[in-house]
Amino acid sequence: MSQVGRTLAIIKPDSVARGIAGEIVSAIEQAGFRIRGMRMLRLNRERAEGFYAVHRGKPFFAGLVEFMTEGPVVVLALEREDAILKWRELMGATNPANAAEGTLRRRFGTSIQRNCVHGSDAHETARFELGYFFSEAELG
């Protein structure tokens, strides 16, 4: 039985710089998500390292932090039935070349790292990630 849940989405710096954040937000709404919170911000190194701490020590960590701090991002708290699963379906595979037709990463991603969006991968991750950017009072 599906239930209403929440997940975090990030429109990455490459998408913001290319002026496609609005198209991505539109696709999110058309897919049946309710936007419970949204803000544009620029991550500093400390904030990016904290958010991606689970990847510390991995070969791609430094490059990921560098990329995520190169310009503004849009963070969104999304809500709908099966939010995590449905968001991951809309995002598509991490590598845009392997993503299904119509997914955001297939449409807008240019590489594995510059794949336009981020999304929580599990309920525990979503709780942490949502709390990293939004207070409970902001999300209602």
Q: Could you write out the three-class secondary structure of 29-98?
A: HHCCCEEEEEEEECCCHHHHHHHCHHHCCCCCHHHHHHHHCCCCEEEEEEEEECHHHHHHHHHCCCCHHH
**Confidence band (pLDDT; 50, 70, 90) for 86?**
very high
Q: What is the CATH number of the domain that holds 129?
A: 3.30.70.141
- Supply the DSSP symbol for 101: T
Q: Residues 32-56: what's their mean pLDDT? A: 97
CA 31 – CA 28 distance, rounded (Å) = 5
In a domain, 56, yes or no: yes
Confidence tier at 105 by pLDDT (50, 70, 90): very high
Could you tell me if residue 124 is inside a domain?
yes
In a domain, residue 139? The reply is no
Q: Which structural domain range is residue 10 located in?
A: 4-134
Residue 140 lies in a domain: no
Query: Would 46 be classed as within a structural domain?
Result: yes
**pLDDT higher than 70, residue 25:** yes
Asked, for residue 110, whether it belongs to a domain, the answer is yes
* Bridge partners of residue 135, in order along the sequence: none
Residue 120 has pLDDT above 80, yes or no: yes
Question: What is the pTM assigned to this prediction?
Answer: 0.95
Identify whether 71 is part of a domain: yes
Q: Read out DSSP for 113-127?
A: S--SEEE--SHHHHH
* N residues, the chain: 140
Residue 109: pLDDT above 70? yes
Mean pLDDT of 52-75: 96
Nearest to 68 by CA among 86, 44, 94: 44
89 lies in some domain? yes
Give the residue from 51, 40, 39, 72 showing the smallest Cα distance to 139: 39
User: Any idea which residues carry the catalytic annotation?
Assistant: 118
| Per-residue pLDDT at 140 | 79
Q: Total domain count for the chain?
A: 1
Lookup result for tokens 């709908």:
80
Split at pLDDT 50, 70, 90, the class of 1 is low
